[in-house]
Amino acid sequence: MVNYAEVAHNFVDGKVQNEIIRIFELLSQFVNKISPNIEMAYAEYKKFIEKKVLDLSKEDVDNFIRYDLEESNKALYWYNIVFNAINTRIASITSNFTLRQFLISNGVDNRDIKEIQSEVNKYWEQAYLPLFNKLKAISLYLKKLKETLELEIKLMAKLKDDKYDEGCDELLSINELFLQERKLFWDLVEQIKLTERELAPVFAMFQKEVLKIKEMLKAHLRLIKSQLNSDVKENPSIKQSERVLKIAFLTLNYIAGAALLYLNLKDMMIKKGILKIFGAINTFLVRSRIKKIEGFVEDKGADFVINVTQQNINSLLNVL
């Protein structure tokens, strides 16, 4: 018998969550790698602009041009790695392996597939689409960063070892490009951050679904009580109620996974050194509540509702 909660959990973990977490891990490494170098270069830039053009020496120019041509190429190498990796993982998330194919391969009843698709797609838009759009915006920033540094390197390559005094135009252009690059980099860091405004809808959605299922369980309990003198297992109304509950549990587990992803990203990014990524939220209480519900659903499975008793429903209501 198919465990619908496990199906949803496997789909989200395997296809979405892992890829998103890997992307943000790579971004945190990128920020920690590049930020000190950018600021060291900016310090050299400030020294450079304090000098008159006629007083510039070869050493002055060497200090001004970010690391030197070799170091700039190393930075470009990093930009390319991160840019390509992110786009590859975004493509993986949106691959042709559809939710329908996944559900069929996991033995989900054909009668339920359309309804599950409808529910999951609705919550995909609310839970994951904002993150997906953020990643696409980050990709555009990385593309601009990469192109800007490529222009810097091209201009640096034009400068001859003994003709720095003839390369003032190139130096000024490199100067302007570097300032653009630095601004783009810190704009990118701001884009990576997730705010409380972005987090709140996911947790509100989770709470709304919990309240919805609580009301559904209460209605199911009333239905069972009204059929005490008949064969509950064969009652069509109860069977339909169980089916609807099964899909609702799948959806709840899906949303719980999305909420935990946001919390896991927060923990991971802070540990990696990018602070103030998330707004102020009582994450301990939020995480404990979500994990308690998710753990119960995973332990019992969405098919738990097929054999529900009054006692089991009451215990689940207490968890919710």
Q: What value does the mean pLDDT take over residues 302-312? A: 51
The burial class, CB within 10 Å (0-12 / 13-18 / 19+), for 309 is: exposed
**pLDDT at site 93:** 74
Rounded Cα distance, 51 and 53, in Å: 6
More confident residue, 161 or 74: 74
Q: Residue 216 to residues 79, 222, 242, 269, 291: CA-CA distances in angstroms?
A: 50, 10, 10, 37, 21
**pLDDT at site 143:** 94
Q: Choose the weakest-confidence range: 15-19, 26-30, 161-165.
A: 161-165
**pLDDT at site 33:** 85
**pLDDT at site 163:** 57
**pLDDT at site 156:** 80
**pLDDT at site 314:** 64
Q: What pLDDT band is residue 203 in, cutting at 50, 70 and 90?
A: confident
* Helix and strand counts by DSSP (H, E) for the chain: 12, 0
For residue 183, the one-letter residue type is K
Q: What value does the mean pLDDT take over residues 52-57? A: 57
Q: Choose the weakest-confidence range: 34-48, 171-185, 218-232.
A: 218-232
Share of the chain above pLDDT 90, in %: 10
More confident residue, 39 or 235: 39
**pLDDT at site 279:** 40
Q: What value does the mean pLDDT take over residues 206-212? A: 82
User: pLDDT tens digit string along 271-291?
Assistant: 665 544 444 344 444 555 555
Residue entry with tokens 């329908």: 100
Question: What radius of gyration do the chain's Cα atoms show?
Answer: 27
**pLDDT at site 276:** 45
Q: With a cut of 70, say whether residue 2 has pLDDT above it.
A: no
Count CA within 13 A, CB hemisphere, residue 88. Answer: 8
**pLDDT at site 294:** 55
Q: With a cut of 80, say whether residue 121 has pLDDT above it.
A: no
Please report which helix (H) or strand (E) contains residue 110, including its range: helix 110-127
Rounded Cα distance, 150 and 142, in Å: 12
Long-range CB contacts for residues 18-22, cutoff 8 Å, separation at least 24: 19/89, 19/92, 19/93, 20/89, 20/93, 20/128, 20/131, 20/135, 20/261, 20/265, 21/261, 21/264, 21/265, 21/268, 22/89
More confident residue, 25 or 239: 25
More confident residue, 2 or 221: 221
User: pLDDT tens digit string along 143-178?
Assistant: 999 999 999 888 887 775 545 555 567 777 888 898
More confident residue, 71 or 74: 74
Phi/psi at 227 (nearest 5 deg)?
-120, 25
Q: What pLDDT band is residue 297 in, cutting at 50, 70 and 90?
A: low
Phi/psi at 4 (nearest 5 deg)?
-65, -35
Q: What value does the mean pLDDT take over residues 102-129? A: 72
Q: With a cut of 70, say whether residue 217 has pLDDT above it.
A: yes
Q: With a cut of 90, say whether residue 54 has pLDDT above it.
A: no
User: pLDDT tens digit string along 219-273?
Assistant: 887 887 777 666 656 677 777 777 777 777 777 777 777 777 777 777 666 666 5
